[in-house]
Amino acid sequence: MYHRDVLNCAMPTSGFTIHQECHEQLEKLKLGKGGIKYIVFKINDDYDQVLVDQVGSNEEGYYDNFLSCLPPKAPRYAVLDLEFKVPNDPDHLTKRKFIFFAWSPDECSVKEKMVHALNLRAFRRLFIGSSVHIQGADVSDFDLEKVIKKACSPTAED
């Protein structure tokens, strides 16, 4: 899911680092431990480190809970462990995908948008194995049906 060497060094594009808790929570998510379904990350106020903002558990309505964690005026990165039924599949096949979200609402500051965009590519490298990447500025961009459709597209790797 992610590359350990990237976790242990500064990001080359801006010099920000990844807090150790990010590594620990990602490991739990990847291994299915602790009932974690999603992790929301933020860049700290000094713009030099990525921190865990929120962790969500595998409970009914977890996707709606995930969406409610995205602040209306601040960017975030997130990873979600999504299990879903493949639409229109006669065998009712169920798939599991790790989805990487880049949240950058229109209402956040220009500086936040720039820092978030500058570091997006470097931060995504942490998620080697996360084949579905979705960017959005409005919660409707993360509509569950749209996310599942993208996860099922031929360009989304298994």
Residue 157 has a pLDDT of 53
The residue range of the domain holding 123 is: 4-129+140-152
The pTM score is: 0.84
Position 134 in a domain: no
**Among the listed residues 71, 64, 73, the one whose alpha carbon sits nearest the alpha carbon of residue 147:** 64
**Residue 134: in which H helix or E strand, if any?**
strand 132-136
Binned average pLDDT, 10 residues per bin, the chain of 158 residues:
40 68 91 93 92 93 96 96 88 89 95 88 70 92 95 70
Position 65 in a domain: yes
Residue 156 has a pLDDT of 61
Beta carbons of 18 and 2 less than 8 angstroms apart: no
Residue 2 has a pLDDT of 41
Beta carbons of 76 and 57 less than 8 angstroms apart: no
How many domains are contained in the chain?
A: 1
Position 158 in a domain: no
Residue 64 has a pLDDT of 96
Position 157 in a domain: no
Position 135 in a domain: no
Residue 129 has a pLDDT of 59
Residue 15 has a pLDDT of 67
